[in-house]
Structure 1
Amino acid sequence: MDTANSTFASAFAWTRRCTYLCLFSLISAPAGAVGTAVGTVIENTAVVNYDLAGTPLTLQSNTTTVAVAERINVTVTLQSPQTPVAPGDSARALLFTVTNTGNGSETFQLAIDSLIAGDDFDPTPAVPGIYFDTDGSGDFNAGDQPYTPGSNDPDLLADESISIFLVNDIPGGLANGLTGRSQLTATSATGTGAPGTVFGGQGDGGVNAVIGSTGGEAQDTGEYLVSDVQVSVTKAQLVSDPFGGSEPVPGATLTYTIVVTVNSPGTATASTIRDAIPVFTTYVPNSITLNGAALSDLADTDEGEFDTSGTPAVVVRLGDLTQALGAQTVEFQVAID
């Protein structure tokens, strides 16, 4: 083989090998919601195959390595719908989730701001005004742990979320229909800045930390609505298994009880309960009751129906509710598949 052909063959072999290596790296890279984990070592070695005087030879380059840096990102998401309140209410909570959308563990500092422009009144943050949803119920209660800045800042793994309550008191003397807002901010304890800002050696394991697209902090805002009608709704379940016990085994029946109560003067007009049938269960036909009276599954003249037009759901039209009517109790059953 002459020199020109040998050079061409070697170059072709190297190119083909390099192309294979590059393609292999692309399809082998781990993927996930937050990207490759911080500290992951990426290695690459090139191999050249060539012939010398008819003898096939292989030459291996040095290996390059790089440890993946930490990318700092966070999101804050309001979970509560617009929350009805009465003038003078105390300790009214809004529920949020804080999610570490970076690729490493990160500590976040939390802050409440109830002086938000564009609303009608300013709620007054309770002392303290931020709590963890300790029991995971989604309802603010006495067992929820207060947040103390610098003491119990949440430390979240990559893609981990935590539920947070903002708790405010509502001023007295407010007119019906006014709104007040409260905002939760989560800020990376490592730092904030424009995307691409580098904090040398401050990532997990001593790698660099790099600010991602969120700038290292995020906010979301909840809203209170002053209403002359205060409505509460609670839900309970009772498990009955086929063996006379209360274990949630396949074939067991879940009886759901929903209680709606008006707790103030005024009228909650056109009140309707809609409760989607949970996945992994099947609705028990003709099991709907309202205040102990059976309702049919059909969309007929009574208050209830089993609606299958979209996601299967139990629908009960309670109509206009007042405090004088007392609690309205709806029950229905599903069977575990």
Structure 2
Amino acid sequence: MLLAGVAANVSGAGIALAQTAASAQTAAGTRIDNVASVTYTVNGTSQTTQSTTASFVVDRKVNFTVVTAQTGPTQVNLGEQNVFTTFRVTNLTNGTQDFLLDPDQLNLSLGLFPGSDNFDVTGLRAYVDSNNNGRYDPGVDTMTYIDELAPDASATVFVVGNVPDQAGAQYAYNSLHVIAAAGGQSGTQGARLVSTDLNLDGADGTVDIVFADDDSDGALLGDIARNGEGRAYSGWHVAVNNVALSVAKSARVISDGLGSPNPKAIPGAIVEYCLLVRNATLTTAANGVALRDAIPARTTYVPGSISIGTPGALGVTCVVNGSTEDDDADDAGETDGVTASFDGVTKAVTANVGTVSGGGSVAAAFRVKID
């Protein structure tokens, strides 16, 4: 979670000033030779001689940008897994490079979004978009560093996490910290680059490392200019903390023991109670939905009568395409994702229907006998 109580303005992260394209720059390690010549005349005869060769190699000018590749925070739901924010890293170095990825939630970025940061995602990690589809694909996007990024090329990076089921959660800020690393060997993560001491004379035969990144969030935010590092910010927003969940209960006489075509509620008759749960919020699911209903006095629960599933026609069938649940609370053998039980002491039916999707509905039914 981001620190609070310190003001900071963050207008951008890792955005370099306009400059020559990296691909148009002379590649690092290029050897440049130069020879001078002199002409002269001796007794009317023209002569020419050449100097010794002066040589040097072009040094590595390390520069790159890190930017947020989305507008605003990613909209998420409580309990949602593998949520992501999207960043783009562009190599402006005069050579191919690796880049190390370091996601975090600890750097200040107050004022980034309208609301204050008040929760953290769990399982924070960063992956490169391997198939370039702009969306995080679990099990497909698995590379945790940028490998062999050519000059002027860009890579999309996802910062991924899991949203806790935390009441009141609204905003979680995150940042992607990127560090320049050595390239040169595909499939191998390069070591972090170390800048050549600029106080030393240049070595003509050696490729010096010169950090030229001119982004700076300030030392307080963990980044300064010309340090071979960059950072950009984004976050997640829990847009909905509640849903329009409703429960409608109805009762229907199933039989009265007399074989009547329209059974009546007489002693000995069987009555079916139907609990219909609807989620009117189209965009957000309700998770962990549990129903509890104490059977009324002067009735007896009908063993094995609990069923849960798709709602049927109103007043005709409570549950269609559902499952019959056992009466005990031992759910170790359950495999359909819903469970139920009847407590003979409290005389209450409990139905755990699980998740009710946005705009979805589920029904639970049980029966009692009129004493």
Q: Using structure 2 for the length normalisation, give the TM-score.
A: 0.46
TM superposition shift of 1:103 = 1.3
- Name which of 156, 173, 180 aligns with 1:181: 173
Counting matched residue pairs gives 200
The one-letter code sitting in structure 1 at the alignment partner of 2:87 is F
Establish whether residue 263 from structure 1 lines up as the match of residue 283 from structure 2.
yes
TM superposition shift of 1:122 = 5.1
Determine the structure 1 residue equivalent to 2:79: 88
CA spacing shift, 1:196–1:129, aligned 2, 3 Å: same
Structure 2: distance between partners of 1:197 and 1:109? 27
Determine the structure 2 residue equivalent to 1:257: none
Determine the structure 2 residue equivalent to 1:112: 103
Structure 2: distance between partners of 1:141 and 1:157? 24
The one-letter code sitting in structure 1 at the alignment partner of 2:210 is V
The one-letter code sitting in structure 1 at the alignment partner of 2:232 is D
Structure 1: distance between partners of 2:45 and 2:146? 65
TM superposition shift of 1:45 = 1.2
CA contact (8 A) 1:229 1:263 kept: no
TM superposition shift of 1:48 = 1.9
Establish whether residue 219 from structure 1 lines up as the match of residue 215 from structure 2.
no
Determine the structure 2 residue equivalent to 1:308: none
The one-letter code sitting in structure 2 at the alignment partner of 1:74 is F
- Mapping 1:114-263, distance limit 5 Å: 114-117=105-108, 118=110, 120-121=116-117, 123-127=119-123, 129-148=125-144, 154-171=147-164, 172-174=166-168, 178-189=170-181, 190-192=192-194, 196=198, 207-213=207-213, 214-228=226-240, 263=283
CA spacing shift, 1:113–1:228, aligned 2, 3 Å: same
TM superposition shift of 1:68 = 0.9
Establish whether residue 64 from structure 1 lines up as the match of residue 59 from structure 2.
no
CA spacing shift, 1:126–1:162, aligned 2, 3 Å: farther
CA contact (8 A) 1:92 1:169 kept: yes
Structure 1: distance between partners of 2:180 and 2:160? 22
Give unpaired runs (5+ residues) of structure 1: 1-30, 231-260, 266-322, 325-337
The one-letter code sitting in structure 2 at the alignment partner of 1:166 is V
TM superposition shift of 1:206 = 6.5
Structure 2: distance between partners of 1:124 and 1:50? 78
TM superposition shift of 1:124 = 3.3
Give unpaired runs (5+ residues) of structure 2: 1-19, 182-191, 214-225, 243-280, 286-357, 360-371
CA spacing shift, 1:44–1:193, aligned 2, 3 Å: closer
CA contact (8 A) 2:196 2:209 kept: no
SS in structure 2 of the partner of residue 154 of structure 1 = strand
Structure 1: distance between partners of 2:199 and 2:151? 19
Establish whether residue 33 from structure 1 lines up as the match of residue 22 from structure 2.
yes
CA spacing shift, 1:52–1:194, aligned 2, 3 Å: closer
- Mapping 1:34-53, distance limit 5 Å: 34=23, 35-53=25-43
CA contact (8 A) 2:76 2:238 kept: yes
Determine the structure 1 residue equivalent to 2:276: none
The one-letter code sitting in structure 2 at the alignment partner of 1:207 is V
CA contact (8 A) 2:128 2:146 kept: no
SS in structure 1 of the partner of residue 81 of structure 2 = coil
- Mapping 1:280-299, distance limit 5 Å: none
Structure (1/2) with the larger helix percentage? 1
Superposed CA deviations along residues 304-335 of structure 1, whole A, max 9, x for unmatched, are xxxxxxxxxxxxxxxxxxx76xxxxxxxxxxx
The one-letter code sitting in structure 2 at the alignment partner of 1:264 is T
CA spacing shift, 1:32–1:55, aligned 2, 3 Å: farther
CA contact (8 A) 1:87 1:174 kept: no
Superposed CA deviations along residues 115-141 of structure 1, whole A, max 9, x for unmatched, are 233262255344361122122110122
TM superposition shift of 1:164 = 0.9
Q: Using structure 1 for the length normalisation, give the TM-score.
A: 0.50
CA contact (8 A) 1:104 1:158 kept: yes
TM superposition shift of 1:219 = 0.8
Structure 1: distance between partners of 2:199 and 2:157? 28
Structure showing greater radius of gyration is: 2
Runs of 4+ in 1 over 4 A off after TM superposition: 192-198
Structure 2: distance between partners of 1:156 and 1:197? 29
The one-letter code sitting in structure 2 at the alignment partner of 1:86 is N
RMSD: 3.6
CA contact (8 A) 2:27 2:58 kept: yes
Structure 2: distance between partners of 1:44 and 1:104? 23
CA contact (8 A) 1:105 1:155 kept: yes
The one-letter code sitting in structure 2 at the alignment partner of 1:77 is V
Establish whether residue 75 from structure 1 lines up as the match of residue 65 from structure 2.
yes
Structure 2: distance between partners of 1:128 and 1:228? 22
Superposed CA deviations along residues 254-289 of structure 1, whole A, max 9, x for unmatched, are xxxxxxx95139xxxxxxxxxxxxxxxxxxxxxxxx
Q: Which moved more, 1:95-104 or 1:31-40?
A: 31-40
